[in-house]
């Protein structure tokens, strides 16, 4: 490696850390506009998944989704308005202050209309009109509507009754998508504290940083750290920066993963020199695990995806169909795959749902369980990649540590989301990937949890099988592939059938339980049908009006990529497979409109193996074994490792 590449890596690392610290310096748009209303409600009006709500504010979240004029007033409160601080009610009169209020409706309306943002929206939208409402018992809400039907709110202003000042002012898309308003602690709570996030980033990247010789972390880990910048803008209600930055980083990851999967190396990969010994990683890993669990229990909030999963698990436990009526505060909570709800059943049985969006201990328990499961599976993935048991244990410790130190997995855990479940399924795919039926079941489990991973089946169905790695006593580190009797087109067809059969078994079993007698069409309509037609402002095709034309072509391109890459010449080892699976999932994420930072969690196991899965790890104080390379779990063909033909094979092949 020349000096230029490691210097660039270290510079990128420093930029990522500087961006993280810069979180504290960005202008907090939500705070400046008085977001201290206390609501963490986060999604589009109507209960679409993606909502964040602090524990104990179920009624607040429900009120945040109630269209103005439809809220239920309190039962004879001493002060006019609803006891729900986010519910809206119509004032009894316009020229007399309601009970306990200082302003009249007319006065509040005049104050709100004078706000520059709503005035601009009124000028730009001919025929728009507004209405004034009481919001809770201490605020007023002016809602600005576009002309015509259906009723579309295009502006919203909140006025504090006591001070008579505008506390919040929103236009499209922030009116409908309250999750984009940057309410403090809406997602991840304390994890997004700039200094805690920076510490996690340092711990995540530190094992790969060396000054002599100058080395930096692998490129995909740096790109992963780079998502800190768009998250900072998102947390400060700046979609105008968050959307293009997120898209650019996703494109970078997609390009790297595609290149990694189709590029056949001409020589062995360079060793990865580790900064910390395994003992240090174990101590830090255990400390991180304890810290993450304690933080989840004491500080974590349950966003709507965790709430919906618990509700679905409750329905399964009661012998009801999952796909149907959900509580109004999570009305479209049945948009996930059936395995998601089934996976929550044991936790909901231990901590039964009380019928409200409260603390939801079942969601906390499930999130912790999935988090530990993913870290454990990654340990075994690393352990199985090495011939030597001790080397495998060290590699497994590294993979598990990286999961525990990664700020994005902590973000998912403290939000009590369900996104660690598909990540665990994809880690299982890496563990059992040498066996077609098993990898089909693992991919089916990931798809039955979050739908999108079904797109990786073509890549898995065309993955070839050859012998695993062989150790040699001298010469360059080598892979020594051997052809087995029965390998050929017929076996390839059989493998494809087994992959598909494994996925179908998982889908059939989970769907039958979750549907409870309802037709399969219901499952399709409530998941793929709903998600495919769901508009959102988090990708360029949903944020920029002038890119509306690109929405469908980009989706077709993502589907075409998943099919074409399955038949292109490519790497068939574990590293190449992880990279292409990652590329296919990223292609779908780029093509959607509703994308969120929690979806990065799915990619974490794939990134680890794609980045360092074919590279030897050089640990401090441990002499490297020059004749042993990481096992690829098969298959690895001669064209994937041409240097292997130059090394005599004196070791014995171990079955993978």
583 inside domain: yes
1 inside domain: no
Same domain, 503 and 633: yes
Mean pLDDT (the chain, rounded): 82
246 inside domain: yes
The separation between the first and the last C-alpha atoms of the chain, rounded to the nearest angstrom, is: 32
* Orientation of helix 338-350 relative to helix 489-515, angle to 10°: 50
Given CA atoms 456, 179, 241, 411 in this order, what sign does their dihedral have? negative
Q: What is the pTM of this model?
A: 0.84
β pairing state of 129-135 and 139-145: antiparallel
8 inside domain: no
284 inside domain: yes
Asked if pLDDT for residue 56 goes beyond 80, the answer is no
pLDDT at 618: 87
Asked if pLDDT for residue 19 goes beyond 80, the answer is no
Q: How many Cα atoms sit within 13 Å of 578 on the Cβ side?
A: 31
15 inside domain: no
14 inside domain: no
Same domain, 134 and 217: no
Give the end of a domain, one of 136, 160, 180: 180
Please give the Cα distance from 590 to 289 (Å, whole number): 32
3 state DSSP class of 168: strand
Contacts of 242 (CB under 8 A, 6+ apart): 230, 231, 233, 234
Asked if pLDDT for residue 544 goes beyond 50, the answer is yes
β pairing state of 153-160 and 139-145: antiparallel
The one-character DSSP state at 214 is T
Same domain, 220 and 83: no
Same domain, 446 and 535: yes
The 10s digit of each residue's pLDDT in 167-200 is 999 999 999 999 999 998 899 999 999 999 999 9
pLDDT at 391: 87
Same domain, 142 and 228: no
Of 370, 362, 360, the closest CA to residue 339 belongs to 370
Please give the Cα distance from 138 to 446 (Å, whole number): 46
* Orientation of helix 389-405 relative to helix 278-299, angle to 10°: 30
β pairing state of 272-273 and 617-618: parallel
Asked if pLDDT for residue 87 goes beyond 60, the answer is yes
Same domain, 95 and 194: no
Other CB atoms within 10 A of residue 79 CB: 15
The 10s digit of each residue's pLDDT in 468-492 is 444 433 343 333 333 444 445 556 7
3 state DSSP class of 308: helix
Same domain, 166 and 194: no
Same domain, 420 and 295: yes
For 71-228, list the strands marked E by DSSP.
88-89, 129-135, 139-145, 153-160, 166-171
pLDDT at 625: 56
24 inside domain: no
pLDDT at 328: 87
Given CA atoms 21, 23, 27, 30 in this order, what sign does their dihedral have? negative
State the average pLDDT over residues 222-251: 96
Same domain, 243 and 385: yes
Domain region containing 244: 189-646
Please give the Cα distance from 607 to 539 (Å, whole number): 22
Number of domains in the chain: 2
Give the end of a domain, one of 180, 201, 222: 180
The one-character DSSP state at 483 is P
Give the end of a domain, one of 145, 180, 215: 180
* Orientation of helix 338-350 relative to helix 361-384, angle to 10°: 120
Same domain, 207 and 176: no
Asked if pLDDT for residue 559 goes beyond 50, the answer is yes
Whether residue 261 contacts residue 565, with contact meaning beta carbons closer than 8 Å, is answered with yes
Same domain, 439 and 395: yes
Other CB atoms within 10 A of residue 645 CB: 10
Whether residue 356 contacts residue 58, with contact meaning beta carbons closer than 8 Å, is answered with yes
Instruction: State what percent of residues in the chain have pLDDT above 90.
Output: 63
Instruction: Please provide the DSSP assignment of 394-459 as one string.
Output: HHHHHHHHHHHH-HHHHHHHHTT-STHHHHHHHHHHHHHTTSHHHHHHHHHHHHHHHSGGGGGHHH
The 10s digit of each residue's pLDDT in 108-167 is 999 999 999 999 999 999 999 999 999 999 999 999 999 988 899 999 999 999 999 999
Confidence of residue 212 (pLDDT cuts 50, 70, 90): low
Contacts of 18 (CB under 8 A, 6+ apart): none
Please give the Cα distance from 423 to 377 (Å, whole number): 10
Q: H-type helices in 158-238, by residue range?
A: 194-205, 219-226, 228-234
pLDDT at 624: 62
pLDDT at 9: 46
Whether residue 362 contacts residue 313, with contact meaning beta carbons closer than 8 Å, is answered with yes
Same domain, 226 and 362: yes
pLDDT at 645: 35
């Amino acid at each position: 490696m020349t000096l230029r590449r490691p210097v660039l890596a270290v510079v990128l690392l420093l930029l990522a850390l500087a961006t993280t610290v810069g979180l504290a310096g960005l202008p907090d748009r939500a705070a400046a506009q008085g977001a201290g209303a206390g609501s963490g409600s986060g999604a589009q009006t109507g209960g679409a998944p993606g909502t964040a709500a602090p524990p104990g504010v179920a009624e607040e979240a429900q009120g945040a989704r109630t269209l103005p004029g439809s809220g239920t007033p309190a039962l004879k409160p001493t002060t006019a308005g609803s006891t729900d601080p986010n519910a809206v009610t119509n004032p009894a009169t316009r020229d007399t202050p309601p009970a306990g209020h200082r302003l009249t409706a007319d006065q509040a309306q005049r104050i709100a209309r004078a706000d520059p943002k709503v005035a601009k929206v009124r000028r730009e939208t001919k025929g728009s009109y507004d209405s004034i409402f009481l919001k809770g018992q201490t605020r007023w809400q002016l809602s600005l509507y576009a002309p015509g039907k259906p009723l579309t709110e295009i502006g919203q202003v909140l006025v504090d009754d006591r001070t008579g000042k505008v506390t919040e002012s929103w236009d499209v898309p922030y009116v409908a998508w309250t999750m984009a308003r940057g309410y403090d602690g809406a997602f991840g709570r304390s994890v997004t504290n700039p200094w805690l996030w920076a510490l996690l980033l340092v711990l995540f990247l530190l094992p790969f940083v060396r000054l002599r010789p100058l080395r930096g972390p692998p490129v995909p880990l740096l790109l992963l750290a780079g998502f800190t910048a768009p998250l900072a803008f998102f947390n400060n209600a700046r979609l105008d920066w968050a959307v293009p930055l997120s898209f650019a980083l996703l494109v970078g990851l997609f390009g790297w993963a595609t290149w990694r999967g189709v590029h056949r190396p001409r020589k062995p990969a360079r060793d990865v020199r580790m900064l910390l010994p395994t003992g240090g990683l174990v101590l830090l890993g255990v400390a991180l695990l304890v810290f993450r669990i304690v933080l989840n229990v004491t500080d974590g909030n349950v966003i709507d995806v965790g709430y919906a999963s618990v509700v679905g698990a409750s329905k399964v436990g009661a012998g009801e169909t999952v796909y149907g009526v959900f509580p109004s505060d999570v009305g479209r909570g049945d948009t996930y795959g059936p395995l998601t709800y089934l996976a929550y059943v044991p936790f909901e049985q231990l901590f039964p749902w009380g019928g409200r969006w409260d603390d939801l201990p079942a969601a906390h328990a499930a999130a912790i369980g999935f988090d530990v499961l993913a870290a454990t599976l990654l340990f075994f993935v690393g352990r199985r990649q090495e011939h030597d048991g001790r080397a495998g244990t060290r590699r497994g410790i590294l993979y598990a540590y990286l999961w525990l130190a990664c700020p994005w997995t902590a973000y998912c855990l403290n939000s009590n989301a369900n996104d660690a479940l598909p990540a665990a399924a994809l880690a299982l795919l890496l563990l059992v990937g040498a066996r077609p039926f098993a990898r089909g079941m693992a991919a089916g489990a990931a798809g039955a949890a979050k739908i999108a991973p079904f797109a990786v089946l073509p890549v898995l169905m065309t993955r070839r099988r050859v012998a695993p790695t062989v150790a040699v006593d001298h010469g360059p580190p080598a892979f020594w592939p051997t052809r087995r009797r029965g390998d050929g087109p017929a076996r390839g067809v059989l493998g494809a059938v087994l992959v598909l059969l494994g996925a179908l078994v998982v889908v059939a079993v989970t769907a039958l339980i979750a549907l409870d007698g309802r037709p399969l069409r219901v499952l399709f309509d409530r998941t793929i049908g709903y998600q495919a037609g769901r508009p959102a402002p988090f990708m360029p095709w949903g944020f920029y009006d002038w890119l509306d034309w690109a929405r469908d072509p980009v989706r077709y391109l993502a589907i075409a990529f998943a099919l074409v890459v399955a038949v292109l010449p490519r790497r068939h080892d574990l590293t190449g497979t992880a990279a292409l699976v990652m590329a296919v999932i990223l292609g779908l994420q780029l093509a959607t409109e509703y994308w969120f930072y929690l979806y990065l969690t799915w990619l974490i196991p794939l990134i680890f193996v794609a980045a360092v899965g074919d590279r030897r790890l050089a640990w401090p104080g441990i002499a490297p074994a020059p004749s042993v390379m990481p096992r690829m779990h098969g298959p690895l063909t001669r064209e994937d490792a041409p240097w292997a033909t130059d090394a005599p094979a004196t070791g014995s092949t171990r079955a993978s």
